[in-house]
A and B are shown apart, each in its own frame.
Chain A
Amino acid sequence: MEFTPIIGLEVHVQLLTKSKLFCGCPNLFNPDNPNVQTCPVCIGLPGSLPVMNQEALRLSQKTAMALNLNLANFTKWDRKQYYYPDLPKAYQISQFDLPFSYDGWVEVTLPSSGETTKVRLIRAHLEEDAGKNMHDESGRGGDSKVDLNRTGTPLLEIVSEPDIRSAEEARVFLEELRLLLRYIEVSDCNMQEGSMRCDANVNLHVHEDGEKIPTPIVEVKNLNSFRGVEAAIEHEIKRQIKAWETDRKRIGDVPKETRGWDADRGQTFGQRGKEDAADYRYFPDPDLVPVTTTDEQFDAIRATLCVFPADRRNSYVSDLGLSDYDASVIVDQGREYADYFDEVTSVCGDGKQAANWLTQDVQRELNDRKIEIAEFSILASVLGTVLQKIVKGEITIKSGRAVFTELLAQSDDGSDVTANSVDTIIADKGLGKVQDTGKIDIAIQAVIGNERNAKAVEDVRGGKQQAVGPLIGQVMRELKGADAGSVRQMIIDKLTS
């Protein structure tokens, strides 16, 4: 049987504002202290009215720019009506026919094939989040609990076209989305805490006798980890293949099904269908006025944007000569990591050198210490200074490592390490490359003239180049920071010319 999986995602992302979307309650994840971030507006008390948080709109528009979405100069608010205990007004303030943005795309590269594709976006709109219901787990049918701390948190809903063709692509799309939103600092996209949530619409196009037959669409709800998204879609594709083989149902034969994901059992499961199809009865919210944004205002927001991850990867490859792999490793660690890299590169002037150090020495320390780049005690400017000395040939890579180790040791002891510390360490430990050939000459003469080395000197003269090693070692011990390569050449020149 030949088939193509057809997958579209709906992603909900909480915005990083200080206050909620329509009231001044704090926007904080606070599950342990229920119903303390609530007020007449977000409890939906009779008579209360919403007033829009301007920053939520700004962050949304910024996001739309990063997602290549078109921005609307005119947008408005609508009420979406349904009943649930975590939705106190029994309607959600959302956007229906005139969202603030539409028609965009995200580029994703699949690790398995290296192939790059564009996933198109239908729209992104802004809405308020609901609260949280907690069900009685005892099975005795006890009351459910409702916490409204989250009610009214600004939420961005991003809807993709069904352009995704595999579970892997869905995961990579989400990862790229998270990276992008974190880069532009609009959301922390923490799936565990629910600041990023995903629903997947999945069906198959079965290819049979030259015909393309779409199977019924299934919506898998509330996926709350990247692995979950991938596994649930994978499972759903397999399940749908089996279903097609047994019932041969096509799209339209049955109403759209909603399924949940049981991560423990690795299965999607049918949720009891609603007796009545939803009828959200959208209409413009009379309590909120429309919003207009001029192109000049859009330009002002655009001017605050950072370089996006995809552009950054490209420029690392083409401008700095990094490999695709290294460029991705650096960019995918997040904006602070890439910013650190950029600063090291700009101080030392060599992207490749910076990339080597970051992906090896620095990364090893971060892993060992289980910290993020932001917590790393050697600032980018300091590491850049060390690497600059290597690049200029003032110290060897080996000496650079020694300086790096010493910087870490000093900061572990509680001192602040600066670019000046680098010079001090080099001076104190005599790690500077000895540039004075006269000095080196004297040292070589002394070693060659030493009785103990008579045999080695003879061997080198006789053409046994490997005998030069111990001689280099002695010279180097005498002159910390001399370049081993030049010392070797000078000894050979002296003995064989």
Chain B
Amino acid sequence: MLSPEDVQKVATLARLKLSEEELEQIGHQLGEILDYVAVLDEVDVSEVEPMAHVADVFNAFRADETRVSLPREESLSNAPKTDGKYFLVPQILENA
């Protein structure tokens, strides 16, 4: 079971601002899901290689050639805030 502190820690890592109510609800639901996931404890995987990719594809390369980039206005076109040249964000606190 996850403690409220654990849930808050996960929410911080996930960059999700959750209300007390949401924290409690999600904490509860995560707990249930983790209980369910514990079914995997039955499986002996000591001799099993993890499978991150399902297709046996290797070495998908691109030649070192340049392609036309997007015009700046298109790159910025979906940004919430710009000055026409840069993406703008609230002041960055160094190392915050």
Contact = CB atoms under 8 A, between A and B. Distances in A.
A258 B65 contact: no
Interface in B37-78: 52-53, 55, 57-72, 75-76, 78
B83 interface: yes
A83 B14 CA distance: 10
A20 to B, nearest CB: 9
Contacts of B63: 53-55
Interface stretch (B18-26, B27-35, B88-96): B88-96
B13 A276 contact: yes
B60 A52 contact: yes
Q: Which of A40, A43, A51, A292 has the most CB of B within 10 A?
A: A43
A35 interface: yes
Nearest to B55: A289
Contacts of A411: none
Contacts of B3: none
A210 interface: no
Contacts of A23: 67
Contacts of B95: 258, 271-274
Q: Which of B59, B78, B86 has the most CB of A within 10 A?
A: B86
Contacts of A145: 83, 85-88
Interface string A10-34: 0000000111000111100000001
Contact of A272 (B87, B89, B96): B96
B66 A51 contact: no
Interface string A432-465: 0000000000000000000000000000000000
Nearest to A144: B92
Contact of B64 (A43, A56, A136): A56
Using C-beta atoms within 8 Å of the partner chain, give the interface range for chain B: 35 or more
Contacts of B55: 289
B64 A55 contact: yes
Contacts of B89: 85, 133, 143-144, 146
A122 interface: no
A258 to B, nearest CB: 7
B65 to A, nearest CB: 6
A485 interface: no
Contact of A291 (B58, B62, B68, B71): B58
A146 B82 CA distance: 9
A271 B93 CA distance: 10
B53 A19 contact: no
Contacts, number: 133
A61 B28 CA distance: 49
A37 interface: yes
A286 B65 contact: no
Interface string A34-48: 111111100101000
A329 interface: no
B81 A289 contact: no
B69 A291 contact: no
B62 A39 contact: no
Contacts of B72: 34-36, 38
A134 B87 contact: no
A291 B92 contact: no
Contacts of A57: 61
Contacts of B88: 143-146
Interface string A130-167: 00011110000111111110000000000000000000
Given A136-B91, A143-B89, A145-B86, A18 B61 contact: no
A147 B75 contact: no
Nearest to B81: A143
B52 A39 contact: no
Nearest to A76: B52
Given A53-B62, A276-B9, A289-B57, A133 B91 contact: no
Contact of A43 (B53, B65, B75): B75
Nearest to A81: B13
B17 interface: no
Nearest to B15: A83
A147 B86 contact: yes
Contacts of B65: 18-19, 24
A56 B88 CA distance: 31
25 contacts: A18-B65, A19-B65, A24-B66, A34-B72, A34-B85, A34-B86, A35-B75, A38-B72, A40-B70, A51-B61, A52-B60, A54-B64, A143-B81, A143-B88, A144-B90, A145-B87, A146-B87, A148-B87, A258-B95, A271-B95, A272-B95, A284-B52, A289-B59, A290-B58, A292-B58
Interface of B: 9, 12-13, 15, 52-53, 55, 57-72, 75-76, 78, 81, 83, 85-96
Given A18-B65, A135-B94, A144-B91, 17 more contacts: A17-B64, A23-B67, A24-B62, A36-B71, A38-B75, A39-B70, A40-B70, A51-B60, A52-B62, A54-B61, A136-B91, A143-B81, A145-B86, A146-B88, A279-B13, A291-B58, A291-B59
- Give 6 nearest A-B pairs by CB, closest first: A24-B67, A55-B64, A145-B86, A54-B61, A146-B87, A284-B52
